[in-house]
Copies of this chain bind each other. A is one copy, B any other.
Amino acid sequence: MPPALPADTSLRTQVYDSLRDSLTSGKFVPGQKLTLRFLAKALGVSLMPVREALRRLVAEGAFEMRPNRSVRVPLMTRAKILELRDIRLAIEGLAVEKAAAVATKEQIARVRRIALEIVAARDVGDNVTDRKKIREYHFALYAIAEQPTLLRMIEGLWLQTGPYMNLLYPKFISSSRGPEGRTRLLRALQAHDAAAARREIERDIGDALTFVADLADSAGNIAPASPVAAKRRRAPSKAPATKPRGVPLFQRAERL
């Protein structure tokens, strides 16, 4: 075992991880505005670590900074989703090509194992596990390529599309998305057929994001059916109870 490299324990990193997690698991709603002091209080830290974590997420495109310097979860348009789709096709396509070229039997077996877990989760209708395993499946695949910079970029792209991937459930998932594509992909890996592997992953990503893009309203905006009502409600909305000291929890959009 390697000498156990120290791992980053800075508050900044903990906050970063927490925010990232909240983002991908749908605890933040697109369009939601975030203030430093609110997040700092919610996480029980000072402004400092929140500032740094937030800045990093802005740099990665996970949040956007408005000209007035306030930070919010990006609101997507149809065009933006399609742009991200094409980028993901290019980048993740490249990753599977490289993976296919070098994949070992053990690596392929590991990916297959995760593919089976997806089927299992889907069988029982467990969408949360489903999404988690989908992510695990893709990243196990990309990791095979051993291209650290490429992997980091893919993580950034997933972070940007993340808040919108909830829109795939349950309609898109239940309709016509069986395990066949993944089976074909695994076969391509075994044959070291880079072109075929790319074809499969492109179909996967392309279908999903095209579906999301097609949810755009006539103005081109995509507003996920969200826990936040369409119109801002001035309802009494009880005061934030007591300080939610627990780290990974956030209340949703206290105002749009």
- Contact surface of A with B, Cβ cutoff 8 Å: 5-6, 8, 10, 51-52, 55-56, 58-61, 67, 69, 80, 83-84, 86-87, 90-91, 93-94, 98, 147-150, 152-153, 160
Q: B83 near A150 (CB under 8 angstroms)?
A: yes
Residues of B within 8 A of A147 (CB): 83, 86
CB distance from A145 to the nearest CB of B (A): 9
Docked Cα-Cα span, A150 to B79, in Å, equals 12
The docked-state distance in angstroms from the alpha carbon of A58 to that of B59 is 10
Given contact pairs A6-B67, A52-B52, A55-B52, A152 touches B90 in the complex (Cβ within 8 A): no
What B residues does A61 contact at CB under 8 A?
149, 152
The residue of chain B having its C-beta at the shortest distance from the C-beta of A58 within the complex is B56
Task: Note all chain B residues with C-beta closer than 8 A to A56.
Answer: 55-56, 58-59
Contact present for A87 and B91 (CB under 8 Å): yes
Cβ of A154 to closest chain B Cβ, rounded Å: 10
In order of increasing CB-CB distance, the 9 nearest A-B pairs are: A59-B59, A56-B59, A90-B90, A90-B94, A83-B147, A83-B149, A6-B67, A52-B55, A5-B67
In the complex, what's the smallest C-beta–C-beta distance from A62 to chain B, in angstroms? Answer: 10
Determine chain A's interface SS by DSSP, over half rule.
helix
**25 CB < 8 A contacts A-B:** A6-B67, A8-B67, A10-B69, A51-B52, A52-B52, A52-B55, A55-B56, A56-B56, A56-B58, A59-B60, A61-B149, A80-B149, A83-B147, A83-B148, A84-B149, A86-B98, A86-B147, A86-B150, A87-B94, A87-B153, A90-B90, A90-B91, A90-B93, A90-B94, A149-B160
Q: Is the CB of B150 within 8 A of A87?
A: yes
If A51-B52, A52-B52, A86-B147 are given as contacts, then 13 extra A-B residue pairs at C-beta distance below 8 Å, sorted by A number, are: A6-B67, A8-B67, A52-B55, A55-B59, A59-B60, A61-B152, A83-B150, A86-B94, A87-B149, A87-B150, A87-B153, A90-B94, A91-B91
CA distance A61 to B8 in the complex (A): 17
A201 shortest CB reach to chain B, Å: 13
Q: How many angstroms between the C-alpha atoms of A145 and B188 in the bound complex?
A: 33
CB distance from A252 to the nearest CB of B (A): 26
Q: Can you name the residue of chain B whose Cβ is closest to the Cβ of A12?
A: B55
Return chain B residues, CB-CB under 8 Å to A67.
Answer: 5-6, 8
